[in-house]
Amino acid sequence: MKVLVVLAGFIALCSCSAIPQVPGDNSHYVEGVSRFIWMPDGDGVPHLVDLEEPVDHSVLNSRNGANNEYLLFTRQNANSPQTLINGNANSVRNSNYRANRPTKVIVHGWNSDRNSKVNTMITSAYLAVQDVNVIVVDWRRLANSNYITASNGVPGVGQFLGNFLIWLFNTGGGNWNQLHLIGFSLGAHVVGNAGRVAGGRPIRVTGLDPAGPRWGGNNQALNRQSGVYVEAIHTDGGSLGIFDRIAHADFYPNGGRNRQPGCLISTCSHSRAYELFASSVRTNHFVGRQCNNINDAKNNRCAGASLHMGNGILNKRGNGIFGLRTGSSWPF
C-alpha cells in the first residue's frame, strides 16, 4: 500500500510538471500546483509559460511603470493616437483631450502592446457610440518580458498610471465621476492598483478575466477598493483567470470557465472577456441574473434580479454574483 501511495504521488508530481503538448489547452492546469500554462499574446496566439521561471530583476528595474505610454484616441483622431506625456502639460493642451468628455482607459495584458486586439476592439466600440477620450496604456516594455517578471511589475505599472491620471486631471481638467478604467488579464490588476492609488475615486473599474496565475488571494489584485463600482467578467476562471468573486458585481458568462461557446481551448475563453465587453459597449444586450452562490454561477443556475453585463454606462451600480448565457460568435 505504501508503495502505491508513493507511486501515486510521483505520478501527480510528474503530471503537474509535465509540459502540455496542445497549444492553448490548459485542461491539465491545477491552480497553485502546475508549473506550466499556455497564455495568449495580444493576437491570441498561445505561448507556453513557466510559472517557476525566475524574475528578471534587470528588466523589472529598468522597464517599470515609468515607461508607460499613454495614447489618446478621440473621434477627431480615431486612427492616429496622440501621446500624452506625464509632466508635459503641452502634450495635453495640444491634443484632442477634452476635460468635459468622459474618459475611458484601457490596459492590455501580458505579451501585448498598443496594437493588441483588446485595445483596438474596445477603442473602436467606444468611439462608435460615445464622444469620449480613450486612453490606451502601452506597457509593452515590461509586459513582453517573462510572465513572472511582468506579473511582479504590475503594481508599479498601476502606481504610475494612477499618478498619471491624477496629474492629467489636475493639468488638463477632468472628472473622476466620468472616468472608467478597463483592464484585461494582468491589465485588470494594473487598473486595480491605479484605482487605489487614485483613492478609489474612479467611478467605474472593469476587470476582464483578471489574471489568475499568481494572483489568487494576492492583496495587490483588483478588488472593491479600486473604484466606486468595480465589475469583473470571468471567462476562463480557475485557469488563466481568477474564478473567485473579487468585485462588487462578478459576472460568469456561460459558467465563467473554459469552454466558452465557440472556443475549444483555454486561451480562446480567456480572450473572450474583452470581446464580450466590446460587444456590450456597442449594444448593451447582455443581461445577467443574480445567482445564489458561485456554484450556481458555474452551473448556469441563476434566476435572480437582472443586471446588464459590461456596457459603457458610468452610473451603473450592482452587487453580487451574476450568470448568463451568450452566443458563440460576434456579437455573441
Of 28, 91, 180, 209, catalytic? 209
Whether 266 is catalytic is: no
Among candidate residues 78, 79, 24, the one with its CA nearest the CA of residue 46: 24
Residue 224's identity, in one-letter code, is: R
Whether 270 is catalytic is: yes
Cα–Cα dist 261/259, whole Å: 6
Classify residue 131 by its DSSP letter: -
Whether 185 is catalytic is: yes
Cα–Cα dist 201/216, whole Å: 24
Residue 136's identity, in one-letter code, is: V
Q: Are 217 and 10 in contact (CB under 8 A)?
A: no
Cα–Cα dist 120/108, whole Å: 10
Cα 54 from chain centre: 24
In order of 78, 79, 88, 248, 282, the CA distances from 127 in angstroms are 7, 11, 26, 27, 9
Of 116, 270, 271, 279, catalytic? 270
Q: Hey, how many other C-beta atoms are within 10 angstroms of the C-beta on 237?
A: 26
Cα–Cα dist 30/79, whole Å: 41
CA R_g for the chain:
20
Question: Which residues are catalytically annotated?
Answer: 185, 209, 270
